[in-house]
């Protein structure tokens, strides 16, 4: 165990933080963004400790509760607050492993409760209205139609859409191959309408001057000849939604939500939806079951024997 004098200086805290960074990088193999978020979380606690003259070796659960309360007082959203607390728990697990502390005071530190956010969902008529705003006389018209039909038909994340390659198309068989999170691949059925729009776009794609390195990708910038970026897709969806006069928060991910919701409303099995969305856990897919609540209540009121009144 390290001595008190080793822990009480800013230099020793900085050295500890450096060791923690190495631990996250080498032992946890975190992505650069996640690693920096964890370091930022730890830095928030260390700054708080300096302000309150606390020692990392002697900090208690009550101290951590006070730190958590100070985070809440800043008006930070519960989800961000929960992420910070998760980062603090990770820090103390490291401190125990590395011999800085014999115990973990964060074990009983509770995460703030997060209300589940229910995303906006588009109706079929709203999706048709958005697609109807696409001007097919413009060079990017058929591409945009194919892009939105594919997002909605297959429930793709925007990153999955942008990374689709020509070799991932099995249109005669009615499938596309999607590379999702963790480079996991899945085969997803594609609708006849989406196949039709993709084929129309492929006729235009032949005339694009494609930049080296972008040849494998399906969706390209018409003018630049590069792989279509996520930002470009966001901008296209935002522009079309405004033209359609739809007053909802609509992003490319909204089409994925709508895909899952419409399948559920149509009677699709939740496990099947999970496979098509590429969710690792069924609990992630279950968020879509809320959409069907009003329809479910209507069915119960109409058909349950206790609700049937004899005249």
Nearest to 4 by CA among 103, 101, 105: 101
Selecting among 18, 50, 79, 181, the annotated active-site residue is 181
Selecting among 145, 157, 205, 262, the annotated active-site residue is 157
304 catalytic residue (yes or no) = no
Strand partners, 175: 170, 189
Burial label, 124 (beta-carbon count in 10 A; 0-12, 13-18, 19+): exposed
117 catalytic residue (yes or no) = no
50 catalytic residue (yes or no) = no
Do residues 161 and 150 touch, judged by C-beta distance below 8 A?
Answer: yes
- Tokens 């963790």, located at residue: 182
Q: Which two tokens stand for residue 124?
A: 């079929």
256 catalytic residue (yes or no) = yes
Residues 6+ apart with CB under 8 A from 35: 21, 24, 25
253 catalytic residue (yes or no) = yes
Query: Within 10 Å of residue 267's Cβ, how many Cβ atoms?
Result: 7
Q: Nearest 5°: CA angle at 55, between 52 and 58?
A: 120
Selecting among 81, 256, 257, 262, the annotated active-site residue is 256
Do residues 193 and 149 touch, judged by C-beta distance below 8 A?
Answer: yes
297 catalytic residue (yes or no) = no
Please give the positions annotated as active site.
157, 181, 253, 256, 279, 288
């Amino acid at each position: 165990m390290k001595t008190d004098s080793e822990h009480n200086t800013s230099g020793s805290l900085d050295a500890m933080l450096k060791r923690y960074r190495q631990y996250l990088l080498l032992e946890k193999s975190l992505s650069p963004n996640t690693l920096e978020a964890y370091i930022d979380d730890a830095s928030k606690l260390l700054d708080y400790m300096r302000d309150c003259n606390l020692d990392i070796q002697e900090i208690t659960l009550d101290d951590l509760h006070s730190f958590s309360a100070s985070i809440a007082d800043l008006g930070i959203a519960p989800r961000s607050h929960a992420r910070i607390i998760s980062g603090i728990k990770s820090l103390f697990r490291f401190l125990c492993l590395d011999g800085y502390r014999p115990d973990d005071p964060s074990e009983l530190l509770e995460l703030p409760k997060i209300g589940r956010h229910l995303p906006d969902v588009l109706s079929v008529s709203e999706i048709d209205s958005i697609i109807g705003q696409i001007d097919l006389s413009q060079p990017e018209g058929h591409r945009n139609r194919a892009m939105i039909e594919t997002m909605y038909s297959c429930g793709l994340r925007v990153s999955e859409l942008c990374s689709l390659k020509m070799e991932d198309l099995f249109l005669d068989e009615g499938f596309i191959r999607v590379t999702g999170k963790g480079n996991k691949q899945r085969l997803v059925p594609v609708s006849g309408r989406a196949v039709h729009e993709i084929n129309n776009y492929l006729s235009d794609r032949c005339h694009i001057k494609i930049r080296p390195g972008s040849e494998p990708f399906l969706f390209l910038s018409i003018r630049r000849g590069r792989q279509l970026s996520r930002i470009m897709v966001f901008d296209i969806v935002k522009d079309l939604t405004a033209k359609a006069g739809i007053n909802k928060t609509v992003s490319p991910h909204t089409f994925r939500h709508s895909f899952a919701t419409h399948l559920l409303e149509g009677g699709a099995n939740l496990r099947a939806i999970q496979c098509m969305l590429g969710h690792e856990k069924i609990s992630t897919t279950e968020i879509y079951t809320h959409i069907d609540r009003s329809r479910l209540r209507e069915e119960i009121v109409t058909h349950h024997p206790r609700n049937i009144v004899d005249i």
